[in-house]
Every structure is written in structure tokens, then in C-alpha cells.
Amino acid sequence: MIITDVSARVFRHKTRRHSDSAGHAHPGPEHEVEQGILTIRTEDGNEGHSFAPPEVMRPHVLDKFVRKVLIGQDHRDRERLWQDLAHWQRGSAAQLTDRTLAVVDCALWDLAGRTLGQPVYKLIGGYRDKVRAYGSIMCGDELEGGLATPDDYGRFAETLVARGYKGIKLHTWMPPVSWAPDVRMDLKACAAVREAVGPDISLMIDAFHWYSRTDALALGRGLEKLDFDWIEEPMDEQSMSSYRWLSDNLDIPVIGPESAAGKHWHRAEWITSGACDILRTGVNDVGGITPALKTLHLAEAFGMNCEVHGNTAMNLQVVAAVKNCRWYERGLLHPFLEYDDGFDYLNALSDPMDADGFVHVPDRPGLGEDINFDHIENNRVA
């Protein structure tokens, strides 16, 4: 049970996903990128693993903070280990981030599951073994036949419904797209999708994240006419009062915060201030599975749903362990990419979806990732 080692490996894998200057993903030519895998090992030889960008588990962070908290401790004491790391953030000169807390917490949950031969959601307390997915479309682009026009979105939405999705979220056009942002174009894309899929598919938007209050209001009013289920991150989430103002002035549910710092503590303030109608959390956004569960349970106490941000095994395990979350966010999707091809460092998809749009939680232990360790060793860079 005692943790004896915490290590990071960095390896290369191939992908066609590229990040733009705002960090949003778009398709491009196949290239190699670096990925990190954190491994926590105990005295009896059991291991837990979690993936994250290499900088999140760089030597300085592991040496100065993570190893000092974990080594010699009982790996089952996840709550205390998480609290100890979270308390060290204040005095870490901003070097110990929520993303590092997340990868450590996820590796500890994976370790617990692999040690006991159980999936994480069963350790938490399972609620379901499959969950409806919404297709989360990439931000718009200027690629011919990609997501360059409202009709492109409409055509792609038709293919997603044919694949089985019963919900679709549009990330619309944002800079560095040359003419973005544009509320009218956002609404044209949303109208094209509603026209293409009909009234029975749930639709949501995740818009340009820095609209003014009046632009966000105009967008929301337009979406109400298209019967969208929620409006997400149309303004800077650091202005909670702007979201309270928007929620007061719109009928369409406002969801958030996704990217605002402050973990479950700040999300409690969003609830009590009336800044959102649906809460939002994400394993990477709040520092792990442990605080993501705290956020979901907080929302439940207020009679609210809380939607979980992002795909990947760790978010699926959390969604499978709660009732007050309608969807699993499956993406990001684009006409030029085949999401079901997965990654070359995993032997199987962590979020397989059936023809009815249900994602089935893998019955594998821990986070449920079928890791290709040969690929990792054969492509190591550190």
C-alpha cells in the first residue's frame, strides 16, 4: 500500500490534431507530438498510470512537490494526498497547477482500481455502465469542406446523427479565424444544424469566450428561437457577475464555469450567485477526479445538473458514478478526422460508442485505459 516511486515517461505519438494560437484543436497533416505518462508504484509492485502533457509532470514539479507529498504514504489516502498537494499550490509560485493535481489524482485512482481489479467508477459507487454522448465539434475553421461555413456544420451534423449521436455541441468560429468572432455567423451555423438534424436532437453551443454582455445576450436570444439546450462560455468566465447578468436575462440555460480557476470552491460561488443554471466541472479543470466528484455532489445538493468537460477515460469514470450529469462529451470531432481511430498508444478506445449514441464504460480495472506500453517504450524521448 505504501508508495515507493513516482515517475514520468515522455513518448512520441502520431496525430492529425494541431493546436492554434488560442489553444483550440483543428485537423492538419499527421505529425508527431509528445505525451507524458505518470506512474505511481507501491511497495507490492502495483502501478497506477495517467496521461498528461509532459510539462505537467516535469522533473521540477515532481521533485519539488509531488514526490515529497506521496513517497512513503498509503496510496489509498487519496483525499489527504489531494488536500496536501492543493494546500501547497498557494506557496508554489504558481508552479503546482490544477493540471498536475489532476494527473496525480487520476494515477492514484487508477492505482486503486488496478490493485483491486475494479474500474474506478465502481470504487466510487457506480450509477450506470453506459451514458449518452454528445458529439463535441471542433471550433470552426477556414478549410475548404471542413467547418468553414454554416452548411459545413449542417452537413457534418447529419453525419453525427447517422453515427448515433443524440446530442451535438458546436464550437463556433474564433480567432485566429480571420473574420471571427461573429454572432450572426454563429447563429447561422446553429440554424443550419437545427435545420439539418430536426427538433429531436439536443443542441448546445460553446462560443467565442470573450463576447461582450450585449453580444452574448444577442447570441443567447437567437439560440432560444432554435431550442438549444445550453449556452456555454460566451464571455470571460472571470467575470462571474456578467454570467449572473446573462442568466438573469436569458431563458436558455447558461452552463459554467469550465475554465475559471477555483475548483469546487469557486463553483459553489457560481451557484449561490445565480451565475449559471447548469454547473460545469472537468477532471483536468478542477484538479482531478476527487474534486470533480465534490463539484458534482455540490450541484446535486442544489438540485442542479453538472456537466463534465471533456472526453478521456477519467471523465467517463466520473460521469458513470453520478446521476446529475446528462452527457459524456465525446470529441473533439471534425469531418476530416476519424475519432474512432483512437490513439496509437492505446490498444482500444476508452470511450466506445454504440449505434444508439451510448458510450459504454470499459470493464477494465482502474481508469479503463488499455495502454500500449510497447509503443511507449519504443517511442520514448525521456
Task: Name the minimum Å distance from CB 137 to Mg ion.
Answer: 11
The sign of the dihedral angle between the CA atoms of 359, 363, 369, 372 is negative
Closest CA to 114 of 60, 221, 40: 40
Residue 309 or residue 334: which is nearer to ligand LLH going by CB?
309
Q: In Å, how far are 225, 229, 231 from 251, measured between CA atoms?
A: 10, 10, 10
Task: Name the minimum Å distance from CB 56 to Mg ion.
Answer: 20
Closest CA to 185 of 212, 147, 155, 156: 147
Closest CA to 82 of 95, 93, 71, 66: 66
Would you count residue 329 as binding Mg ion (CB under 5 A)? Answer: no
Task: Name the minimum Å distance from CB 206 to Mg ion.
Answer: 4
Would you count residue 26 as binding ligand LLH (CB under 6 A)? Answer: no
Q: Please identify the residue of the shown chain whose CB is closest to the bound Mg ion.
A: 206
Site string for ligand LLH, 296-335 (x = CB under 6 A): -------------xx---------------------x---
Would you count residue 206 as binding Mg ion (CB under 5 A)? Answer: yes
Q: Before 199, cis peptide (omega within 30)?
A: no
The residue ranges of DSSP E strands in the chain, in sequence order, are 3-19, 25-42, 47-52, 130-137, 167-171, 202-206, 230-232, 254-256, 278-281, 306-308, 328-333, 358-360
Would you count residue 141 as binding Mg ion (CB under 5 A)? Answer: no
Task: Name the minimum Å distance from CB 73 to ligand LLH.
Answer: 32
* C-alpha cell recorded at residue 362: 470499459
| Alpha carbons 177 and 140: distance in angstroms, whole number | 8
* C-alpha cell recorded at residue 366: 482502474
Would you count residue 186 as binding ligand LLH (CB under 6 A)? Answer: no
Task: Name the minimum Å distance from CB 258 to Mg ion.
Answer: 5
Task: Name the minimum Å distance from CB 239 to ligand LLH.
Answer: 17
- Of the candidates 9, 24, 166, 330, which one interacts with ligand LLH according to CB under 6 A? 24
User: Of 5-13, 254-262, 269-277, 287-295, which segment contacts Mg ion by CB under 5 A?
Assistant: 254-262
Distance between terminal CA atoms of the chain?
A: 27
Q: Residues 87-94: contacts with CB within 8 Å, 24+ apart?
A: 92/64, 92/65
- Of the candidates 237, 258, 285, 369, which one interacts with Mg ion according to CB under 5 A? 258
Residue 18 or residue 380: which is nearer to ligand LLH going by CB?
18
Would you count residue 258 as binding ligand LLH (CB under 6 A)? Answer: yes
Site for ligand LLH in 208-247 (CB under 6 A): none
Contact 231, 207 (CB under 8 A): yes
Task: Name the minimum Å distance from CB 232 to Mg ion.
Answer: 5
Binder of residue 150, out of ligand LLH, Mg ion, none (CB less than 5 to 8 A by kind): none
Binding site for ligand LLH (CB under 6 A): 23-24, 136, 171, 206, 258, 309-310, 332
